[in-house]
Structure 1
Amino acid sequence: MRTVLVTDQASVDQALAGLTRNGLDLRDFDAVCSGLEFCLATAAVLSDLARITERAAFGAVAMRDKDVQKALVRAAGVATAQCVTVAGHADVAAHPDRFPVVVKPLSGSGALDTFRIDGRDGLAAYVRGTDTAGPWLVEEFISGAEFQVDGVVRGGAVTFLSMGRYLENIIDIHDGGLVGCIAVPPALHPELYENAKAVAHDSLKALEHVDGVFHMEVFVRDGEIVFGECGARVGGGRTDEVVERSFGVNLHDEWVRGVLRRPAVPEPADVGGAGAVHGDMHLYAPQGLVREMPTREEVLARPGVVYAELKIARGATMPDVTSASYLRAGVAVVSGADEQEVEARMKDLSAWFAASVVTERAPEGP
């Protein structure tokens, strides 16, 4: 395998320059792809330039830019939040007096710089003080339980779909909420799955994402499914582990099959059966310099834990995990007889792990 080094792999011009410096021609490639959120559009542009695909760049933008995305699915008749973009203080002053709202970067991820705002003063403060460059998306706040929908699409048809219920809505991480998600069995929630599949089909068609995998977030409000966001990638955390353990489907394999235009693996016949329920969760620790922490083996020994990985070590600095949903000390997959047992085990594991990590204030920088 040959590696081409560039400063920013999300930059089209740097990718092209790197290929040229190394004597590589895009036309010699069979596929151009990326599983990384911030490189999806770059890969799509290069794929179109190589004449491997057509309009992949437009689809990638639709799967990245939240304003474009919501406009397309709304036009297709899918329920989603009303939204506008704001670029500065003049837009804030002109914004209708309808709150609460959620404000976020147009192409962000992981709930970074994503907040609920309850009034115009708060919106003005966000625009004035956020570290993220504008414009920003301001959308109506949608109440209801948040779910993630992960699946496979082939030729525009959703061939596999899983649903996971978040323990707490992702935006609540800024208030110390626990990032965790439990795969709900289709056999116990047939109507939910039927409605989610319809929303996924209509949304993906509108977004021109007809082959590959997807990771979608939706809200369930009074029985109605409201579209939140969608990415053309495998979901974060350990969504891949949960889906494979729960349904026997390898999302990474399906992603590769989509890129190479190979048929999807037939869905296992017993999907939705009454087997063990699984969920994945983030492990948190107090902010600061890590002095003591549990081992991976100790985490695996906790009730129901079937998978664990640690992202920190003794001597490392634990960041403020309330900043974004991708910040964590580790991740774990927990199993149980039903959703209630998995949730209880996840909450117990979270409390035990956080209490077992000893940190001290990190030294000041130079």
Structure 2
Amino acid sequence: MQRLYAQARDRGVELIGAEKPANLTDADTSLFSSVVACDVEDPAAAVRALRTLDATLVGGLAFRDLCVEPLAAVGEALGFPCVSTLTARTTRNKDLCREQLRQAALPQPASRLVNGREEALEFLEKTAPGPWIVKPRDGMGSANVDLVRSQDELDAALAGRPAGVPFLVEEFVSGPEYSADGVAVGGRPVIVALAQKSLGPRFVETGHRIPADLSAVQSEDVHEQVERALLAVGLTHGLFHVEFWLTEDGVVLGEIHARPGGAFIPTMAEYARPGLEFYGMYVDDALGVDPCRMPALSRSAGMRHVIVEPPGRLVSVSGWEDAVSAHEVIAARLSVKPGDEITPVCWSADRHGFVVVEGTSGAGVDARLGQIQNRIVFEVTSADQPTDSSDA
């Protein structure tokens, strides 16, 4: 948020924030000229609250998936450039997005929105031999995503899902995963960074690195397909984060998000392109200012999430302060402490911290992250055993 604040301020734009009251209790709001307390995940509530502002709004950004549709409603109601409510709904619902991309002749896995086990089983039989993915149509953070390798595994994947709520079943796409991030400028997408990602159990993201290890031909194909996809769903304003796979048959697009990528991707993009102002590009476009030339991609940056294993009770942490004091470290945070219960990582909120570094090359960044990871030692014991909560 500090980068957004600085780049907006340099252009004479102040920030107005909106957030749920419960999330503002201990929040630092010093970067905002004002903050509106409202239900930012409810379009009608957000519109009612922000209508009361005595300010000229030139644009708006959502940083959480659940805020994308409310932001679109606010933009339409208050008259500032923003994605449409139709585009917001399309990007938030994976089945609608996949269908839109198919209509644009972009490769997509077979998928179906189903209402229960029988419809899911019918899809599996039609698209055998699998495997398949079962997930919410509008989920986030890899929550409730299950890999199903056979019909026998379907019941386990459906256990615990809310009754009466449709869910998505689709063919599993095999291949390394990446993301494309950028800004819509003049109504057209401008890709700023291609990042490669690493995944852990249950498809939870464990790291990202810019630039991705793609050839010039592969990068050109990605640019072409991502730009077509964004225009197909109508994403002509704001920031975007598009996920994709590189398969044996080429690029296959995944989810499209009408928000900036998480995991410090905008920050890493600025380190990889010295002189880039990611949010400044957005503010300039909102103000109608001609875009500046894109700085060259000349460095690298990467991040890894901290995953403490095995599950249990954290007894001690050693090496953290020393490891993250390296001059290459951009940001680091450890969100667990001795005495905390360590639970299995089932979705993004379960991760235990992060480290972000920059360097001259992708290989160098990967090596530095590996060195940092190896210098941090977590001692975990059975959750039912007592601990003195001392830090080794």
Shorter chain as normaliser: what TM range? Answer: 0.7 to 0.9
Match of 2:179 among 128, 148, 162: 148
Q: Is the 8 A contact 1:254 1:264 kept in 2?
A: yes
Q: Partner residue of 1:331? A: 354
Any idea what the Cα deviations from partners look like across 1:86-140, whole Å, max 9, x if unmatched?
Answer: 1112312322422211111111111111121112232233223236973111111
Please state whether the residue corresponding to 1:69 is helix, strand or coil: helix
Q: Structure 1 residues 337, 32: CA separation in 2 closer, same or farther (over 3 Å shift)?
A: closer
Matched-pair contact (CA < 8 Å) for 2:315–2:378: no
2:189 maps to 1:158:
yes
Which residue of the partner structure matches residue 96 of structure 2? 68
Give the aligned partner of residue 234 of structure 2: 208
Q: Which position in structure 1 is the counterpart of 2:10?
A: none
Give the one of 142, 148, 151 matched to 1:117. Answer: 148
Q: Name the stretch that deviates more: 309-318 or 40-49.
A: 309-318
Gaps (5+ residues) in structure 2? 1-32, 387-392
Listed as ranges, the matches of 1:244-263 within 5 Å are 244-248=270-274, 249-263=276-290
Map 1:150-299; keep pairs closer than 5 Å. 150-167=181-198, 170=199, 172-174=200-202, 179-184=206-211, 189-222=215-248, 224-248=250-274, 249-268=276-295, 271-273=296-298, 275=299, 277-286=300-309, 287-294=311-318, 297-299=321-323
Residue 118 of structure 2, aligned match among 90, 95, 98 = 90
Question: TM-score, normalized by length of structure 2?
Answer: 0.78
Bigger mean CA offset, 73-82 vs 330-339: 330-339
CA distance in 2, matches of 1:297, 1:261: 45
Structure 1 stretches of 4+ moved >6 Å: 25-28
Deviates more, 1:223-232 or 1:343-352: 343-352
Q: Per the alignment, do residues 13 and 343 of structure 1 end up closer, same or farther by CA in structure 2, a change over 3 Å counting?
A: same
When residues 14 and 213 of structure 1 are mapped into structure 2, their CA distance, relative to the original with a 3 A threshold, is: closer
Q: Are the counterparts in 2 of residues 150 and 215 from structure 1 also a CA contact under 8 Å?
A: yes
8 Å contact from structure 1 (residues 149, 217) kept in 2: yes
Identical positions, percent? 22
C-alpha distance in structure 2 between counterparts of 1:209 and 1:327, whole Å: 31
- Higher deviation after alignment, 210-219 or 44-53: 44-53
> Quick check: 102-111 or 309-318, which moved more?
309-318
- Give the aligned partner of residue 80 of structure 1: 108
Confirm whether residue 349 of structure 1 aligns to residue 375 of structure 2.
Answer: no
Distance 1:234 1:17, change over 3 A: closer
2:35 is paired with a residue of what secondary structure?
coil
**Does the CA-based 8 Å contact 1:241-1:333 persist in structure 2?**
no
Q: Note if contact 2:196-2:209 (Cα within 8 Å) is conserved in structure 1.
A: yes
Is there any run of 5+ residues in structure 1 with no aligned partner, and where?
A: none
Work out the number of aligned pairs and report it: 349
SS in 2 for 1:139: strand
**Alignment match, 1:42:** 70
Whole-angstrom CA distance in 1 between matches of 2:290 and 2:321: 38
